[in-house]
């Protein structure tokens, strides 16, 4: 079965522009894959904790040598990586928070970026191991001029970080759709959202 894994990271549930675009992307994907399965993770809901000492120790300990505490600490990581590897398409919706990714999204990233599972390090070189090959990332910006070649591009650590991170774990096809100036007047926001929806129709 074809599977979409959707990761929402905006703290706002109502009034979130990235979530609204995620809904549009999901609807487009489901129209093309009527029998497909959708897994949704609302990461700001607190279901994904920050990694702990036992989590890190468990990541670097062979399964047969893990203590019960390590196994408990890495169980969620196992589940999240299984979800990722089962997905044919990864959809991430992410607003820019203080020039970077939301903390809740970083918590998910830290759980799925795991040596021996989504990347390896051999003979001085990293290699991505994730089985998912394609991702669509929706980025939202309250003001404008954050994209490549624009005046605020140097302070945009959202899109470049996610592109690098996904490539690092082996997802080679990463397409990004952005909406800017979401805090502007209603007409500007409506225009920018319509453009983003049209862009999604091409990439989905």
Residue 144 has what pLDDT? 96
* Residues of the chain where predicted confidence (pLDDT) is lower than 50: none
Token pair of 4 as six digits: 């979409």
Among 201, 157, 196, 160, CA closest to 180: 196
Q: Which helix (H) or strand (E) holds 174?
A: strand 173-179
DSSP per residue, 1-56: --EEEEEE--S-STT-HHHHHHHHHHHHHHHH-TT-EEEEEEGGGS-SPPP-HHHH
CB 193 within 8 A of CB 179: yes
Cα distance between residue 28 and residue 34, in whole Å: 10
Q: How many residues does the chain have?
A: 204
CB 38 within 8 A of CB 83: no
Residue 1 has what pLDDT? 77
Using alpha carbons, list the distances in angstroms from residue 117 to 70, 81, 111, 170: 16, 8, 11, 11
Residue 66 has what pLDDT? 95
Strand 119-122 to 125-128 pairing:
antiparallel
């Amino acid at each position: 079965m074809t599977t979409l894994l959707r990761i929402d990271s905006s703290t706002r549930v109502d009034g979130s522009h990235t979530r609204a675009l995620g809904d549009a992307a999901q609807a487009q994907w489901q129209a093309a894959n009527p029998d497909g399965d959708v897994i949704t993770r609302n990461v700001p809901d607190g279901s994904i904790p920050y990694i702990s000492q036992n989590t890190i120790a468990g990541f670097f300990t062979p399964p047969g040598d893990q203590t019960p505490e390590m196994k408990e600490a890495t169980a969620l990581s196992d589940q999240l990586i299984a979800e990722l590897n089962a997905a044919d398409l990864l959809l991430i919706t992410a607003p820019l928070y203080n020039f970077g990714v939301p903390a809740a999204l970083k918590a998910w990233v830290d759980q799925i970026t795991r040596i021996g599972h989504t990347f390896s390090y051999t003979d001085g070189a990293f290699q991505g191991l994730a089985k998912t090959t394609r991702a669509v990332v929706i980025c939202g910006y309250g003001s404008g001029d954050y994209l490549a070649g624009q005046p605020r591009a140097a302070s945009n650590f959202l899109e470049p970080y996610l592109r690098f991170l996904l490539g690092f774990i082996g997802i080679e096809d990463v397409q990004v759709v952005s909406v800017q100036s979401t805090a502007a007047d209603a007409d500007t926001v409506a225009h920018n959202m319509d453009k983003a929806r049209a862009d999604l129709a091409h990439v989905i």
